[in-house]
Structure formats: C-alpha cells, structure tokens
Structure 1
Amino acid sequence: MKKPIIKSSRLLILLVCLIFLAACSGSTENSKPAEPKTAANSSPAGKIPKAAETAEGMIAQKAGWLMKKHFDEDIEAVKPIDWFKYRNFYDETFKPIMEQEIGHYFEKHKNLTSEEVYNYLVYTLGSGQYERFYKPLTAFTHGFQAPELPTEKTDTVETAETPKQANALILIDASGSMKAEVPGGVKMDLAKAAIQQFAAELTEGTNVSLLVYGHIGTGSDADKAKSCQAIESIFPLAKYEKASFQQATDSFQASGWTPLAGAINKAAELLSAYPSDQYANSVYIVSDGIETCGGDPIAAAKKLQEQSIQAKVHIIGFDVDDPGQKQLKAVAEAGGGEYATVKNKEELETQIIKKWRPSVFEIAGKQGVPAHEYVDKISELTNYKVHLTDLSNYEKSRIANATYFLSNQQLIDDKTKEKVLSIIEKRNRLRNDHFEQIYKMKKQKLEEAKNIIDQKVSDWKDQWEK
C-alpha cells in the first residue's frame, strides 16, 4: 500500500517543479530590458546622403522625407497669387511636425558637424520639385513666326479704322500702409518707379493722368475724414511729359486712409467728357489694401464700366492679404478689367508689363510679333523662373528656421549654427543665380527673335511705301 503513495508523491513534486520553472522562465523573459526605439523615419547620421553642392545636383535632388510625407506638392509650388496658402500651411501644420521630428533626431545625434547638420536638414526639408519647372525653362523656345509678306503689289486697297484716342488714368494708393518694405524696397517708392516707367512707355499720343488718394493726414481716427477726402489729380489728363510727370510723382508720400471708391468716382468724373465711341479709356490702380473710408469700390467700378465712357479698371494688388485680394479682384472684375497681385519689386514690374501694356499697344495693319504673343511668352518664361525662385527661397527658409530651432533648443552650438546658415545662404544664391542666368539667356533669345521679325516687317513696309 505504500508504493502507490510514494509514486503519487513523486508525481506531485515533479509537477510543482515544472510550474516553478515555467514561472521563472516567464519572469526572466519579462525582465529583459526593452529594445531602444528610434524616432520614426529618422536615419543614423552615417546613412544620411551628402547634400548636393552644385546647382544641377540640387535641382535633381529628391524631396526631403518630411516634405514628401506631410507637404502637398501643389501648396509648396503654389502660384505667386496664392502664396498665403504656403505660409499658412507651413506655420499652422508643417512647422510643429518638423520641429518635433528634428528635435527627436538631434537629441540622439549630438556633436554633428555643420555639414552633417545641413545634410540632414536637406534630407528632411529639401524641395524635390525643381525639375518640374526647370525642364520647361531650359527647353523654352519663343515659337514666333514672321507673317506672310507679299513680294508683289496687288490692286487690293487695305483700309483700317481710325484708331481711337487713348486715355490712361493711373490711380496710386498713398495710404499709410504703402510705407512698408517688401523685397526690393519701400512699396511707395517701387510703385512710383513702376508707374513712371509705365507712363513713359505708353503708345505715342496717349493722354495720361495721375491721381493720388489717401496722401493727406495720418492713419489716426482724428485724421480719417480729412484723409478720406484726399483725392487729387496731380498730373491732369494730357500727353506724357517726363519732367512734369516725375515732379508729380515726387510731390506726395504715403500717409493716411484708403478712399478707393472715391478715387474711382473721381476717375469717372474726369473721363465723363470722353465717350467710348471716340476714346479708348482705361483706369489703372496700384493698391496694397481694401477700402477703409466706407465707400463701395465694386459699385464704383461697375458704374464706371457701364457709363458711356466704358473705362476698364485694371488693378495690381501690392503685398495684399487675403481679404484685400478678394475685394480688389472683385473691383477689377466689376470694372471689366484684370487683377494681379505681387509681393516684391520684380513681380510688380513684370505684372505691369503683363497686365497693362498690352491693353494700350493697339497696332493696326501688318505687324511683326503681336504684342499679346510677346507678352504671353514673357509671362510664361517669367512664370518658370518665379516658381523656381520661390521653391528655392522656401527651401532656404525651412532649413534656416530649423537651424534656429535647433540652436534655441541648444541641440547645436552657436558656431555650428552660423556655419549652417552660411551654407544655406550660399546654396540658395547658387540656385537662384543659375535660374536667373538661364532666364536672361532665354529672354535675350526671345527678344532677338522678335526684333528680327519686327525689322523684317518694317523693312517690307518701307519698301512698299516708297
């Protein structure tokens, strides 16, 4: 009877041992230290590719991994008129993500050289869209064709309608906000220079007038009434005369409020004696903001277009915010004209050529390269360069902001920061100089082709007019 009892006791002891071993095994497994985790999508410094040092290399670079993951391509390459979309998306959505990711990386990778820091930031924040606009820029051709020019006289008599007398009224916003600076200089100074150039190159015989508004008083409530009534014709409607026009543009400075509707009504008053059956009337406005004097500029522009003078209203918005853009665009549409927005000196000059000059260059009879074709080609060429320059400047800004963030968080020292900022500036200048060089070369070829065709037509006209 004892043997079964002994057998059962041994079996029980064996079972207890097995349970104990299993428990120890589980405890040992659970007590293992956790494997270290790396920040999502980050790579060790040794695996970060070296950033390109040539313009061609930077143009061919791939998008930074954070850009590819979080930045919509159409927002990064936004049209100049919609640049607020880029700024708002960057500030509100992308920047917090960027700071968190690079912060994680540099907490784990300290004491990097300035070149290693720059390499990682390009690998993370670089643009991969240069080729999108660079290829059409380098492949750009003018496409101009000379018109067919008969080599023998015919009995056909060509008649042309007598061109109408052109009247160009230029309205310039002299409110206090025009004292602000943009890339290239002070807005008021840039607007004056562009207007002077525009007036000087009007078709011979065009009458021009310059109106200024908001140039009296200050932006204070006490001066509002006085400033809102400040609408003055400082160059009466007449043929352009350089010295007098220059004196007129030098006679005022940016000062007070913005009576845009009142200025348009004043233009209508000045043009009331010039009906559209005899005159080609146009109103050109440079403004940096919305109406601030309680008027309705949309209604004023619509009235100007519907009256017998039928003056078209063209507007350039200079460094305008979203509400301002919406209103100024609506004013131009109500006035049967066109609207464009610019944010720096170069764009201001380009848009004046694009939006304004063609409307007053009315060439009758045989001509070489039509003005609108030339302007369209210049606009296309400029568009490629502007997009490339914007992409380059945006990349520079992203990487510079990241560098300052790392410095503020004491993840890189001051010496490294300054070296990285120097590299950023040099690479940005290298890209932009390269884009500018190609742009100028293409523009020169375009202008040479136009001049050859225009000269050929001019010589043909001379031949048959003898």
Structure 2
Amino acid sequence: MVCLSLLSACSEKTEESNSGEVNNTGKKGKVEEIVDEKIPEAARSIELIIEQKAGKLVEKHIEPELEVIGVIDFFQYRNFVQDTFYPIAHKELEIYFDKNRNLTSEQIYDYLVYQLGSGQYKSYYEQLISYEHGYVMPKLPDGEDEIEVVKKQKKTNVVLLMDASGSMKASVNGGVKMELAKESIKKFTEQLQTDTNVALLAYGHKGSGKEADKDLSCKEIETLYPLSSYESNSFTNAINSFWANGWTPLAGAIEKANELLADYKKEEYKNIVYIVSDGIETCGGDPVAAAKKLNESDIEAMVNIIGFDVDDKGQNQLKQVAEAGGGSYSTVRNQSEFEDVIIKKWKPDIFQVFSMQGVTLREIVDHKERLIHIHGKLYHASEREAQRMTNAVYFLQDGEFFSREVESEVVERIKKMQIMRNDHFTQIKDEKDAEARQAEEEIDSAVQAWKEKWSKELEKE
C-alpha cells in the first residue's frame, strides 16, 4: 500500500494549539490533531478493478444510476458533473495537492482512483459473466420416440399409466374421457410389434373422491397387465377391469413404473412410459422429482404425457413432469385429438411444419438489447471514471501542482487502464454474442432440416 502523508506542518501542533485556541463557540479548546491520510494503491489488474470500491467523492456526491446513465440521457450526467461535482472535487483536490506536491505519477493516479474511481464494475460484471442468450431448441416431433422406435428396437418396454381419478368420468366432445382414453389405448397397443413388452397400470381407481377414501385411493396403484408381450384379449380384459373413481397419485404411479422397469437397463432395453391424465397430483407426491429420477436412472425411461382436457394449472404441472422425464407433453380435448397424438406418434401436422420457427427476430432483438444494456453500463462506468480523472489532472496541472511531464505520465496511466477495462468488457460481450450466434445457427439448422424432412413425409400421405 502506498501511504501519502500530509505535510508535517499540517500535523504538528502550533504554539497556540498547545496553549488552547478560541473555537467557534468562543471557548478555548484543543485543536484536533490531523491524522495521516492513508491512500490505498489503486488496482492495476482487471481482477482487482472489478472489486474496486467507489471513490470517496463519487460515493458521496454521484448517484450510481446517474454515473451509468445511457447515451441518450448523457447530458444529465454531464451537466451534473460540470455544474456541481467538479467544483466540489476541484476544491478537495486543491487542498490535498497543495500539501502534497512531490508525488510520483503513480501516487497521483492512486489518489485520483481513491477519490474519483467508479464502484459500479462488480455488479454489472457479474451480470455480464452470467449472461445467457435464452435461445431454446424447440421440441421437434420426429416420430422416433414413439411407435417408430418400437419398430426399430429389438427389446422395447412400453408402460401405460392410466389416470382413473374421479375427474376422468367427465364428458368431452365425443363421449366420456375414461371410455375414449381406453378405446384409443387399445388401438395404440394393437399397433405395437410382437416383440414389444407392454404393461398397464391404473391409479386413482379405488375408493372415491371423498376425503375418507383418500388414503385408500392414493395407495392403490395396480398393475392390471404385467409387463409382457401384447395379447389382445388379455389386454382388453385388463383395460375394461377398472373405472374412474378417486384421487390422483401421479408421483406414486411413476414410482411404481420405476420399480416395474428396474431390471431393464438402458443398455439392453428401450423403456418408454406413457401417462394419460386429466389433472394434477392430489395425493401430496412430487411427480416432477419422480419423473426425473426415472429418466436419470439406469433404465433411463422416457416419460411422455397426454393431458386429456386439462386446465391451465394441470397443464403446467404435467409439462414439467414430461420435461423432467425427458419426454413430450401433449394436450388433447377430444378422442380425435387423443388418437392423433398417441397413434400417430406425435407426428407434426402440416400447420406445425410450416409454422415452426427457429430463433425468432424478437428473440434476437431481445438478446442484443439485454447484452448491450449490461455491457453499456460497464462501458459508461469505465469511460466516466477516466473522464473525471483526466479532468482532475488537467485542472491540477493548470494550477501548477505538478509538471507537464508528470501530467503526461498520469494521463497515460489513466488511458492505459481505461483501454484495459474496455477491451476486457468488450471481449466478454463478444464471446456472449458469439455463443448466441452459434446457438441460433444450430437451432435454425435443426428446424430447417426437420421442416424439410417432414414436408417430404407429409407429401407422401
């Protein structure tokens, strides 16, 4: 640390001081001894600059928001520093440098940072470092997760979890949800290859929707068709053996599927779980955690969910469950939509193909605005620190507090640090922008390839 002491004459007691001096109250009193002011060495590395605290004068007189105000409103900052801040700063600088006239250029730089440096770097730098463009690869239905996968895999397990809670008794366009779901499930299983194992589990089918039956309903998750090859009569008997009655232990059903598939490791089996549900968990479980555990286990099962006439709250939860399970969520309102989803393997329709977009212009503009905003704050803080310090150097040299040679050395140091800061901030901004461009290209390329593929597929139909 560089310590700059006030002139000894300023710290010594005068003869009047020793004998007492009349103060502003008219009474004699001892004049307080001036203590040496210790000036810390200013940061010279970018790592330390980021941690830099605001200069004493800046902290006291300039509002943080004003220091980094945008270019459009720059006149607000300019007018304030010229009319208010510089007169205060110049007075303080005159007092100090009048008592410290033999400082080196580096000591002068340290003092200027101590008084005029910006303290805004850390906050905005952390935002810049952690910045994310926000581009997300859209879900591109490819038919590979459903029946087409089943056709290609020698060993495939399909586990069907049927929500049989009381709400499945409700009617939709075409009939009762429970009946329509059963009919569509039977059509789906009939299309499975003979070497595919299938299981059917029902949950919510015991008891009723009354509070007294909640415990029974939540615990009873029944395997009605054990995991084995598909046999039409047996499966039909199984799916016709229950009805919609009680509560919704969705998490428990997923955990049951996990137990059922525990011995079928991903190296040898393709494990797919289909959930047909019309609402959220009502038994206190955590279906998102259960789906995540299932997908991340050694069996690596994919969880696909069909939401049957589900409200917004239910859709939100079911989407999270499907995402946690590495699968897809689709919502349907009637039997036709249901069959389109489960029998057509989540194939996209012609509208989806032509409307699917990669990264949108709006997303690009939003990314650039956010990135420029954060970088701009750092740039303004850096530029205005340099301006304040350069102004101070010229003011002090005009007052002949140091030589022209020292003035040049200090200004050179200020510019050097300014360039280092700005180059570093810009480098990070450019890296973040490059990451966004790469993600944009990858997403757009994937979407374009998907559209071309499915355009050809749809032409064949």
Q: TM-score with structure 2 length normalisation?
A: 0.46
Q: TM-score with structure 1 length normalisation?
A: 0.45
| Higher alpha-carbon Rg | 2
